[in-house]
Amino acid sequence: MEKKDIQMPNSEGYLKELRRSEERKAEIGQFLQHYLPDPAKIVFEAGCGHGHWLTSYAMENSNQMCLGIDLIAGRVDKANQKKEKRDLKNVHFLKAELGEYLEVLPKGITFEAVIFLFPDPWPKARHHKKRMIQSTLLEKLANRMESRGKFYFRTDDRSYFDWTVEHLNESKFWKIQDEADWLHEESTYFQNLMDDYFSVVAEVQ
Ligand SMILES: C[S@@+](CC[C@H](N)C(=O)[O-])C[C@H]1O[C@@H](n2cnc3c(N)ncnc32)[C@H](O)[C@@H]1O
């Protein structure tokens, strides 16, 4: 563990971060209550960046409700501009961290599909714990899926691809579908920068 990762419980810094996290989660909760009907089945994109993929998907699937989140406000702003330009009513973008979002997502919101496109690969071994795909996340997502709901993952980083396939194979909640079609093709900002990439699809069990 890196020195800066260590926060002593009850230290001023730790308590401050805890308060900030609670404030962020309250804001996320308010946004979700305001914009999503409850119950609702949605297509969810984690780390949506500039919203290229999800706006394109939402345009072609006007009967589906879509939600994209990203940590970076400027990227969410760009995604919202795309949504407004196309006057899309069935897609929402929110600045949120994945773990915090899942904590406050109302129980009635379930996922028909979850998609990760070019998530940060964190190539150094000591940073692998920062990767979004972890066993605990796969379990949390599985608990939110509609029956036969699918997980879509694409990366240019071979090591992150192998990591994800390994975690899916080890998980009792998911089964890789080698023959499954990709949900929707639309190049993202990062996909446009890459010569090559790898994709995997899994179905909830
Ligand atoms: C490499 S970019 C890919 C963006 C987009 N999917 C694309 O293909 O252009 C990864 C994105 O994931 C976001 N991200 C990273 N960790 C996140 C987290 N824990 N919760 C939400 N978004 C996250 C980053 O802010 C960044 O925009």
The predicted structure's pLDDT at residue 129: 97
To test ligand 1's pocket by mutation, which of 118, 136, 193 has the most ligand atoms within 8 angstroms of CB?
118
For the record, the structure tokens of 101 come out as 């979002």
The predicted structure's pLDDT at residue 197: 97
Distance, CA 71 to ligand 1 centroid (Å)?
A: 7
The predicted structure's pLDDT at residue 7: 64
The predicted structure's pLDDT at residue 1: 46
* CB 75 less than 6 A from any atom of ligand 1: yes
* CB 51 less than 6 A from any atom of ligand 1: no
Could you tell me the domains of the chain?
36-204 (3.40.50.150)
**Which ranges of the chain have pLDDT less than 50?**
1
The predicted structure's pLDDT at residue 9: 74
Rounded Cα distance between 50 and 164, Å, is 23
Distance, CA 132 to ligand 1 centroid (Å)?
A: 9
User: Which atom of ligand 1 is nearest to 70's Cα?
Assistant: 22
Tens-digit pLDDT profile for residues 127-157: 999 999 999 999 999 999 999 999 999 999 9
Tens-digit pLDDT profile for residues 50-63: 999 999 999 999 99
Number of H helices, E strands in the chain: 7, 7
Using alpha carbons, list the distances in angstroms from residue 135 to 36, 111, 189. 28, 18, 27
| Residue 122 burial (10 A CB sphere; 0-12, 13-18, 19+) | middle
What contacts 96, CB < 8 A, 6 or more positions away? 24, 28, 69, 70, 71
* CB 66 less than 6 A from any atom of ligand 1: no
* CB 47 less than 6 A from any atom of ligand 1: yes
Neighbours of 166 (CB within 10 A): 11
Rounded Cα distance between 18 and 119, Å, is 25
Distance, CA 147 to ligand 1 centroid (Å)?
A: 27
